[in-house]
Amino acid sequence: MRADEYSAYLDYFIPGYAAEIIANYGLSPVEARSQAVREIDEDLPQGVETSGQVLLCVIDRISSDDSIIGYLWYRPDVPARSIYISDFHIFAAHQGKSYGKEALAILESELARTGFTQIKLRVAENNTRAKHVYDVSGFRVTGVNMSKAIGIK
């Protein structure tokens, strides 16, 4: 991802992540958006130049203009030879066309070529489309995230 593409990424990421926060943690839309902005500012303080983070645009290699059809953000852990996917999204207009599976296969191939041995990620329980893509791409469940709101009547 180039610096000039980062604002479009934020335009996609913040509302989507805020919606996930609302659905999974019950925050109000204002609180969820504030949390999404705060977290992205903490995780990517220098945007695409943030050390230890990799931000990629997924492009349609078939189109003549290399259209952006999604995004992939991951954090490599070189000593552990693993990466953690923070965000992976194929735009709705391009879903169901195997682009997600293809992007993961390309990522896996490139990572294996450079000595990485594991890809980790978290997927929301209600994200059945993403869970399907990960399942057919060979990922397996290694745990379950759980949450409980406290102090709320």
pLDDT digits (tens, 9 = 90+) for 63-120: 767 799 999 999 999 999 999 999 999 999 999 999 999 999 999 999 999 999 999 9
Does residue 150 form part of some domain? no
Q: What pLDDT, in 10s, does the model give residues 23-46?
A: 888 899 999 999 999 999 999 999
Q: How confident is the model at residue 146 (pLDDT cuts 50, 70, 90)?
A: confident
140 to 33, 119, 122, 127, 148: CA distances (angstroms) = 31, 11, 11, 15, 25
Are 52 and 74 contacting, i.e. CB atoms less than 8 angstroms apart?
no
Phi, psi of 3 (to 5 degrees): -55, -35
Q: Are residues 40 and 89 in the same domain?
A: no
Cα gap 97→102, rounded to integer Å = 9
Q: Are residues 91 and 21 in the same domain?
A: no
Global pTM value: 0.89
Domain limits at 106?
52-143
pLDDT at 61: 76
Task: Work out the burial of residue 122: count CB atoms within 10 Å of its CB; fewer than 13 is exposed, 13-18 middle, 19 or more buried.
Answer: exposed
